[in-house]
Homo-oligomer: A and B are copies of this chain.
Amino acid sequence: MARNRVKMVYVENDTSRKATFRKRKGGIMKKALELSTLCDVPVAVIIESEYNSVPEVFPASREAMGTLLAKWDKLSLVDRTKKMVNQETFLNQRIAKATEKCKKVTKENRELEVKKVMFDCLTEKTAPCLLGKNELLDLGGVVDQYIKGLNRRIEFLTKNDDASSSTSVVPAAAAAATSLAMPRAEMGSYSTGFNDTIQENMNVMPIVKDFDLNQMQSEEL
């Protein structure tokens, strides 16, 4: 978890594995204690270790532990199976969630790519004629959205800010760039240098979001 990102696979090296085991066991026990303290819920953790001949460990109090296990014993076979199945469903749920997130990120990335192309066009790095039909359609959609934002922007400026109302006569492309930059400018002073704005956005655009299943937390169960 530190220094190097660690792969979530069995640690082959005996020494490292033992070290990891000890550290992480301590970590879980602490977390369990914290959860039970913060939320006043009974928590039990059982860890079977090859290093401990009496291999169970519990952060719960003696009584709480007994109660927890008793409850488990008393669960109907149906409920128990249901819960057990939940465990089998555990990974499936994570996968489903991850898939959904992955889709979303992919979509966002496509949008970012299109925006990048748009700015490339503005700075003449890429000729639109080199693009395929689908790319052009996507690009058209993005540009349309920018122009819509631009119109709202013009309306806003015309109503509220005389000094800036002159922006309503700039070429559409530069205005679109301004529009894109708006979210950042909203809380401060408004940007007026279009080339700067474009350049600024050029630096931001290439960022493509990364995605990692392991980064996701189970949440929900």
- A interface with B by C-beta (< 8 Å): 6, 8-11, 17, 20-35, 37-50, 54-62, 65, 68-69, 71-72, 75, 79, 82-84, 86-88, 90, 217-221
For residue A10, which residues in chain B have a CB less than 8 angstroms away from its CB?
A: 37-40
B29 with A218: CB separation less than 8 A: yes
In the complex, the answer to whether B25 meets A221 with C-beta atoms within 8 Å is yes
Closest B residue by C-beta to A55: B71
Chain B residues with Cβ below 8 Å from A39 are 10-11, 17, 20-21, 24, 49
A50 to B46, Cβ gap below 8 A? no
Contact indicator A71/B87 (Cβ below 8 Å) = no
Residues of B within 8 A of A25 (CB): 35, 221
Chain B, residue nearest A1 (CB): B34
Assembly CA distance A78 to B27 (angstroms): 27
Distance (Å) between the CB of A43 and the closest chain B CB? Answer: 5
| Separation of A41 and B20 alpha carbons in the complex (Å) | 12
Copy number in this complex?
Answer: 2
Which residues on the B side are within 8 Å of A62 (C-beta)? Answer: 84, 87-88
Contacts of A45 in B (CB 8 A): 32, 43-46
The verdict on A220 contacting B38 (CB below 8 Å), with A31-B31, A68-B48, A71-B48 known, is no
Name the B residues within 8 Å of A71 (CB-CB): 48, 55-56
On whether the beta carbons of A61 and B46 are closer than 8 Å, the reply is: no
Q: Are A218 and B26 in contact (CB under 8 A)?
A: yes
Residue ID in chain B nearest A81 by CB atoms: B62
Whether B68 contacts A69 by the Cβ 8 Å rule is no
Return the 6 tightest CB-CB contacts between A and B, nearest first.
Answer: A26-B219, A44-B46, A62-B84, A26-B217, A21-B39, A42-B48
Q: Which of B20, B26, B49, B56 lies in contact with A83, CB distance below 8 A?
A: B56
Contacts A26-B218, A56-B75 supplied; 11 other A-B pairs, CB < 8 Å: A8-B37, A9-B37, A17-B38, A21-B39, A24-B39, A28-B28, A46-B46, A54-B82, A56-B83, A57-B221, A58-B83
